[in-house]
């Protein structure tokens, strides 16, 4: 019998129907904790076999590894840091390192942010002068625009100067998000590396000794201890409505499909999915714009190629980002840098090469072994010693893992809000639920932002 059916039976008759949380990632788990604190019965459903969502760790070659660079900054929101440190402490402790970041810029591996010598190496004396002049001009009060910037491009130019934006941010946005910063909302600029508060000066990274996923496993353990049901391998496939409210959730697990009566739903999945599940809903994978042919809520895929390499690799940075469109790898993470104590003396190093894709481009069409070959071929461009011996590899595809804050997405989101907010017992949290470029610290906060009107709903 399906586990969800068991839950459904206990909820029959309308007594003590649970609040169902869709997704056991950081936001869903934080929401479940908040609901338990309010004395509400909670059932968390997740289609994946483990908790943690995109912040889970994967077991490779006998060790847990995060999905790409999973940094938690000691300069994050104090409430998030406090909660996260408490969980990480109980999950096996953590390692603290000062971030070393690198960039591939015009084919050269340099430090990031680049120092004067890096700039000279990348663009030569004339280019360096042009960049310095453009940066200085951006800082002149007379040049500051009165109107708030409309696009990410405007916001970045105001902060860094046009030449810096053309050199670094344009190729980065194209690779990462598939469009230039002219097509991205100004809100995105605030979230970009180097422009966000707390990124100037040394940045301390907090890395759980047993991987970031251990933090979320620990939170799940605590929630179960307090009575929450967390049903993994259970994918939500539909929502029922009655009198303008969500009345039930349909989910599929190994035992089949079943329907669970609910008091309310907290969702951490993309709004287009919710719209598809609701009556009169759109059928597309993206939420439609208010007018036909307008922008939609877009997301990008991430493909991770983990490479097991003999010895150390030469490149010491935590991660190196390619601001260079001639390379297909977007970012290379050296896992040894994140947990130097854990990997001290380890005979092999695990590197993680990250590709970003629309889901329909030539990267998506490549087989796993083709992606791995591409990653290996580009290692030297990232400063990895030539001739390193790659012993094994693993490829993991993360569809729709990066919400794109396109120009005009706020208007699309407002239309979606209007449709979904019509259901008073439906709440959206997290990176996908809110369609924002959120990290773990944001998930910890938005997961706990469920309004009192939902907490107080009768069972």
Ligand X SMILES: Cc1cc2nc3c(=O)[nH]c(=O)nc-3n(C[C@H](O)[C@H](O)[C@H](O)COP(=O)(O)OP(=O)(O)OC[C@H]3O[C@@H](n4cnc5c(N)ncnc54)[C@H](O)[C@@H]3O)c2cc1C
Residues in contact with ligand X by the rule CB under 6 A: 22-28, 45-48, 53-55, 67-71, 235-236, 268-269, 302, 354, 398, 401, 430-432, 438-441, 443
Alpha-carbon torsion (286, 287, 292, 295), positive or negative: negative
Rank residues 122 and 305 by Cβ distance to ligand X and give the closer one. Answer: 305
Q: Which CB atom, from 113 or from 238, has the smaller least distance to ligand X? A: 238
Give Cα separations from 444 to 217, 242, 273 (angstroms): 14, 31, 22
Nearest CB to ligand X, comparing residues 137 and 396: 396
Least distance (Å) between residue 238 CB and ligand X: 10
Residue 26 burial (C-beta neighbours within 10 Å; 0-12, 13-18, 19+): buried
Q: How far is the CB of 72 from ligand X (least distance, A)?
A: 6
Other residues' Cβ atoms within 10 Å of the Cβ of residue 161: 22
End-to-end CA distance of the chain: 25
Give the shortest CB-208-to-ligand X separation in angstroms: 12
Instruction: Specify the residue, 180 or 272, whose C-beta has the smaller distance to ligand X.
Output: 272
As a residue count, the chain comes to 459
Residue 23 or 288 with smaller CB distance to ligand X: 23
- φ, ψ for residue 409 (rounded to 5)? -65, -25
Residue 302: CB minimum distance to ligand X, A = 5
**CA–CA gap between residue 230 and residue 214 (Å, rounded):** 16
CA 36/CA 39 separation, integer angstroms: 5
Q: How far is the CB of 136 from ligand X (least distance, A)?
A: 32
Minimum CB distance to ligand X smaller for 301 or for 324: 301
Least Å distance, CB 212 to ligand X, is 8
User: Which residue's CB is nearer to ligand X, number 45 or number 223?
Assistant: 45
Distance CA 134, CA 115 (A): 16
Nearer to ligand X, 161 or 271 (CB): 271
HSE-CB at 49 with a 13 A cutoff on CA atoms is 4
* H/E segment holding residue 84: helix 78-90
Question: d(Cα 298, Cα 284) in Å, to the nearest integer?
Answer: 11
* Cα within 13 Å of Cα(97), Cβ side: 21
Compare residues 161 and 272 and give the one whose CB is closer to ligand X: 272
**CA nearest to 77, candidates 200, 196, 216, 219:** 196
Q: Give dist(CA 215, CA 210) in Å, integer.
A: 9
Q: What are the residue ranges of helices labelled H in 242-289?
A: 271-277
CB of 446 to ligand X, least distance (A): 8
d(CA 135, CA 20): 50
Minimum CB distance to ligand X smaller for 2 or for 55: 55
For the bound state, the minimum distance from the C-beta of residue 19 to ligand X, rounded and expressed in Å, comes to 15
Residue from 413, 102, 437, 410 nearest 300 by CA = 437
Q: Whole-number minimum distance, CB 396 to ligand X, in Å?
A: 10
Cis omega before residue 137 (within 30°)?
A: no
Sign of CA dihedral 203, 214, 334, 444: negative
Compute the distance between CA of residue 25 and CA of residue 5 in angstroms, rounded to an integer: 23
Closer CB to ligand X, 158 or 363, in the complex: 363
Q: Min. distance of Cβ 173 from ligand X in angstroms? A: 16
**82: its two tokens:** 């406090």
Nearer to ligand X, 68 or 383 (CB): 68
Q: How far is the CB of 436 from ligand X (least distance, A)?
A: 9
- Bridge partners (DSSP) of residue 77 are none
CB of residue 59 to ligand X, shortest distance in Å? 16
């Amino acid at each position: 019998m399906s586990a969800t059916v068991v839950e459904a039976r206990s909820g029959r008759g309308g007594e003590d129907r649970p609040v169902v949380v869709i997704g056991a990632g950081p936001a869903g788990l934080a929401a479940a904790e908040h609901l338990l604190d309010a004395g509400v019965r909670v059932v968390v459903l997740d289609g994946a076999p483990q908790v943690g969502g995109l912040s889970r760790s994967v077991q490779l070659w006998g060790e847990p590894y995060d999905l790409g660079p999973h940094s938690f900054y000691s300069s994050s929101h104090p409430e998030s840091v406090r909660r996260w440190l408490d969980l990480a402490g109980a999950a096996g402790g953590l390692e603290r390192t000062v971030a070393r970041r690198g960039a591939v810029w015009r084919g050269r591996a340099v430090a990031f942010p680049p120092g004067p010598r890096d700039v000279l190496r990348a663009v030569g004396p004339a280019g360096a002068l042009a960049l310095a002049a453009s940066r200085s001009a951006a800082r002149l009060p007379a040049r500051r625009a009165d109107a708030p910037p409309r696009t990410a491009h405007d916001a970045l130019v105001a902060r860094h100067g046009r030449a810096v934006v053309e050199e670094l941010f344009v190729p980065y946005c194209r690779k990462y998000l598939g469009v230039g910063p002219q097509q991205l909302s100004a809100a995105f600029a605030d979230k970009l590396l180097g422009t966000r508060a707390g990124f100037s000066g040394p940045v301390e990274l907090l890395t759980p000794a047993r991987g970031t996923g251990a933090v979320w496993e620990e939170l799940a353990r605590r929630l179960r201890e307090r009575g929450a049901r967390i049903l993994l391998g259970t994918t939500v496939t539909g929502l029922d409505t009655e009198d303008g409210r969500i009345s039930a959730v349909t989910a599929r697990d190994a035992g089949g499909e079943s329907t669970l009566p609910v008091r309310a739903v907290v969702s951490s999945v993309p709004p287009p999915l919710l719209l598809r599940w609701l009556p009169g809903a759109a059928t597309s994978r993206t939420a439609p714009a208010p007018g036909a042919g307008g922008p939609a809520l877009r997301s990008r895929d991430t493909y991770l190629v983990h490479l097991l390499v003999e010895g150390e690799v030469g490149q010491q940075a935590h991660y190196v980002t390619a601001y260079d469109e001639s390379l297909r790898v977007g970012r290379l993470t050296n896992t040894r840098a994140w947990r130097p104590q854990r990997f001290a003396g380890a005979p092999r190093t695990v590197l993680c090469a990250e590709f970003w894709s629309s889901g329909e481009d030539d990267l998506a069409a490549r087989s796993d072994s083709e992606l791995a070959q591409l990653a290996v071929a580009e290692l030297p461009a990232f400063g990895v010693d030539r001739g390193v011996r790659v012993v094994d590899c693993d490829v993991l595809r993360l569809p729709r893992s990066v919400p794109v804050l396109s120009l005009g997405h706020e208007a699309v989101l407002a239309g979606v809000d209007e449709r979904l907010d019509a259901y008073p017992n439906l709440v959206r949290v997290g990176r996908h639920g809110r369609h924002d470029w959120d990290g773990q610290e944001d998930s910890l906060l938005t997961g706990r932002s469920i309004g009192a009107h939902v907490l107080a709903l009768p069972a």
